[in-house]
Amino acid sequence: MAGRSLSDEQIADIRRRYAAGESRFSIANDTGLDRNTVAKYTAGVAIEGTAAKPTPATLPASIPQPFIPYSINHPGKWLILSDVHIPYHDEATVQAAVETAVKEKAVGVVLNGDILDCHELSDFDKEPGAPRYVEERDKAIQFFTWLRKRLPKALIVYKEGNHEERLGRYVIKRAPALFGLQCVTLPSLLELDGFGVEWVAGKRVIKIGHLSAIHGHELKGGITAPVNPARGFFLKCKESVIGGHHHQTSEHHEPTLNGKQQAAWSTGCACGLNPPYMPINKWNLGFAMVDLFESGEFSVRNFRFMNGRVV
């Protein structure tokens, strides 16, 4: 919801909760707002007098940290596209993915993280000749302009990946005085509100009916060690899930003791397969289409893009 205009009632409620002592983090998680948005509307709000200090025998009050999924309940076909890494995207794969969505009259698109590369903002050594972040930003706006033209009525949900998270970390480390300014958040820089794009940050899970969507960086540990990323996702999540991040197309199916069918999928990427920092890898190009039904049930078609064809 970052970048959206809030009603006077919403702003008043945010300020009231903050003045009453609730943390910005808690308010953001409870309302689904970006933390920078909450910080913007609570700047200068005085916190009411604190309660008397508890006696040593009193259990201190905890700070709630709700983790609320972003829900998609609109039935129809949904394109799942991740790891585009603009400006290092593979044009043919992106074109094929979006043309598939157009052909199938998709009702929505989930941009499942790492749509931008944010190379200049990373903690790694920078390539001197790499495009500047301002160039990435311009190419990203060009991408959203093109995407909206191809799918003018589609719902578009953009989930923050680990590469998009680089901007927030950069501001905190290099320019903390700017933290909380809406103008230095990714939704603002990319003008997402103008494109009608919903922004999902804070590692929130996206629920597409009964299917959970994650980028993949949310899960720590050896994901690919158990055969492939999809099995790794399943072992970590224990429910039907789809993710990207690992740039590999894979799937894993496993029934529960009572016969309920669960499955996990990892999608291929839509970026160059041989970057200088890892020219030898197990990556492949790809994307997915999810058919979401009124009941919340779904089916997944996990595509590879090979030799100029969707397979």
pLDDT tens digit sequence for 53-95: 556 788 989 999 889 999 999 999 999 999 999 999 999 999 9
Residues 6 or more apart whose CB falls under 8 angstroms from that of 110 comprise 72, 78, 79, 80, 81, 157, 159, 206, 208, 213
Which of 81, 156, 170 lies closest to 118, judged by CA?
170
Give me the helices (H) in 58-118, please. 91-103
Mean pLDDT of 149-161: 98
SS3 292: strand
Q: How far apart are CA 94 and CA 216, in angstroms?
A: 20
Is the entire prediction scored with pTM above 0.85? no
Q: Which is nearest to 42 in space by CA: 63, 64, 19?
A: 19
Quick one: residue 186, left, alpha or beta (phi over 0 = left, psi -120 to 50 = alpha)? alpha
**pLDDT, mean over the chain:** 92
Contacts of 36 (CB under 8 A, 6+ apart): 2, 179, 180, 181, 182, 185
User: What's residue 113's pLDDT?
Assistant: 98
- Name residue 269's beta-bridge partners: 285
| Averaged pLDDT, 227-250 | 95
Task: Name the burial class of residue 250, with classes exposed (0-12), middle (13-18) and buried (19+) by CB atoms within 10 angstroms of its CB.
Answer: buried
Q: In what order do the strands lie in the sheet with 309-310?
A: 197-200, 155-159, 108-112, 76-81, 286-292, 298-306, 309-310
- Using alpha carbons only, what angle is made at residue 253 by residues 282 and 96, rounded to the nearest 5 degrees? 50
Q: What is the enclosing helix (H) or strand (E) of 206?
A: strand 206-208
Domains parsed from the chain with CATH numbers: 1-68 (no CATH), 70-310 (3.60.21)
The b-or-e profile of 257-272 (16+ CB within 10 A means b, else e) is eeeeebbbbbbbbbbe
Burial of residue 225 (number of CB atoms within 10 Å: 0-12, 13-18, 19+):
exposed
Question: Token pair of 96, please?
Answer: 């094929």
Strand partners, 208: 72, 211
Report residue 217 CA to chain centroid gap: 10
**Rounded distance, CA 86 to CA 62, Å?**
41
- As given in the structure block, the two tokens for residue 186 are 């990714």
- Which residue reads 């890892």 in tokens? 278
267 or 32, greater pLDDT? 267
Model pLDDT for residues 95-151, shown as the tens digit of each residue: 999 999 999 999 999 999 999 999 999 998 888 889 999 999 999 999 999 999 999
CB burial readout 89-107, b (16+ within 10 A) else e: bbeebbebbbebbeeeebb
pLDDT exceeds cutoff 90 at 33: no
Closest CA to 127 of 87, 171, 160, 91: 87
